């Protein structure tokens, strides 16, 4: 059973979103980091860049694989986690805390995100496939 904090929102691409006013912190979920294995490289966009929902905004790499990370909402990057760039293992160690990736600002409120319950249900469905 994966850790899915109830105060966060989620995508089917296994990202989490913490909305606070007009900004949103984004990372990858406990499930995603476990599937990836040891994260050895994180590539994040420059602050000031804008992305549409669903657009790839960076990459998380394990020893074996490269995984793109997709914008869970449309907005502008206002902060990136430089610590995770220097110490990619933070994504494994603390995916919902020190392993956060970027902070977006947005003008239109994001839609289509999953609640913790809905995401957990999605994980269960995937596991039973």
Question: Could you list the residues that contact other proteins (CB under 8 A)?
Answer: 35, 37-38, 40-41, 43, 59, 61-64, 66
**Residue 70: both structure tokens together:** 């997709």
**Minimum gap (Å) between residue 61 Cβ and other proteins:** 6
Of how many residues is the chain composed?
Answer: 129
In angstroms, what is the minimal distance from the CB of 117 to other proteins? 25
Show contacts of 1-5: CB within 8 Å, 24+ apart. 2/29, 2/30, 2/31, 2/34, 2/120, 2/123, 3/30, 3/96, 4/29, 4/30, 4/31, 4/116, 4/119, 4/120, 4/123, 5/96, 5/116
User: From the CB of 17, what's the least distance to other proteins, in Å?
Assistant: 24
Nearer to other proteins, 59 or 115 (CB): 59
Residue among 5 and 37 whose Cβ is closer to other proteins: 37
> What does the alpha-carbon distance between residue 64 and residue 51 come to, in Å, rounded to a whole number?
27
Q: Which is nearer to other proteins, 67 or 105 (CB)?
A: 67
Q: Compare residues 61 and 98 and give the one whose CB is closer to other proteins.
A: 61
- Least distance in Å: CB of 106 to other proteins? 25
């Amino acid at each position: 059973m994966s850790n899915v904090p109830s105060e966060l929102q989620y995508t089917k691409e296994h990202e989490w979103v913490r909305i606070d006013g007009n900004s949103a912190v984004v990372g990858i979920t406990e499930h995603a980091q476990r599937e990836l294995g040891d994260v050895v490289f994180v590539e994040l966009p420059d602050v000031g860049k804008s992305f549409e929902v669903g657009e790839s905004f960076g990459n998380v790499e394990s020893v074996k694989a490269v995984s793109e990370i997709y914008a869970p909402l449309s907005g502008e990057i206002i902060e990136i986690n430089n610590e995770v760039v220097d110490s990619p293992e933070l994504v494994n160690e603390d995916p919902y805390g020190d392993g956060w990736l970027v902070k977006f600002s947005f003008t239109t409120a994001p839609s289509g995100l999953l609640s913790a319950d809905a995401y957990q249900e999605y994980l269960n469905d995937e596991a039973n496939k």
